[in-house]
Amino acid sequence: MDGNGRWAKQKGKHRVFGHKHGVKSLRKAITFASEKEFKALTIFAFSSENWKRPKQEVNMLMELFFTVLGSEVKKLHQHNIKLTVIGDMTSFSDRIQKKVSEAQKLTENNTGLALNVAANYGGRWDIAQATKHIAAQVAKGELSIDDIDEDRIAQGMTLYDLPEIDLMIRTGGEQRISNFLLWQLAYTELYFTDILWPDFDAISFQNALDFFSGKERRFGQTSEQVILQAVSDE
């Protein structure tokens, strides 16, 4: 969700103004995904690199995160949405960690949209955590080196219990992944738009889905193989 700061700057406002309006766009996106019966929606709220931003902005983002968790979680629960926060929680204040725990506990049994919020998250961190866990198992003799394969690594990654990601949307005009779900995006379709996040609405989201629906997903196969597989499935 990129472009909050630039959106605010274009309007002669402080970056905080953009972040607050970005929350409104997030509500719209969650509503859209829920109505379309998505299985999962993962949003990049705060990366592990975002700590490098000016202290005032980081403090404001932390307060906004805390406030949104408090004000929105009951609404998510009412709509059967399951909230999970992925990332390294240890860097957050105790009160934010407590609020995250309470929010996840409240919605953990919900069966609708799986809403994943990546906070203090980095794709490299995710991979490192998975490999560290495997190394510990090997050191204890619980696992042999020959047992390590792609699926074993994936089991230690965030989002392992969810379907593979179909589509990644990045707003704001930048065309890079920026350390987001590096492992999980291996065969994901990437959609980049110049629209700044506070202006991203249901029409913008539908445009991204239209882009996705026009893609032939081969996963290493030829077009002919994909067509034959589709016919046989029928």
**Which of the residues are catalytic?**
2, 50
- 119: phi then psi, degrees, rounded to nearest 5: -130, 130
d(CA 41, CA 62): 21
Q: How much is the CA Rg of the chain, to the nearest whole Å?
A: 19
Contact 191, 211 (CB under 8 A): yes
What tokens appear for 90 in the block?
Answer: 């240890």
CA atoms within 13 A on the CB side of 104: 11
d(CA 63, CA 96): 9
**Residue 170 DSSP label:** E
Longest dimension (CA), the chain: 60
What tokens appear for 3 in the block?
Answer: 């472009």
Reduce the secondary structure of 21-63 to three states and give it as a string. HHHHHHHHHHHHHHHCCCCEEEEEEEECCHHHCCHHHHHHHHH
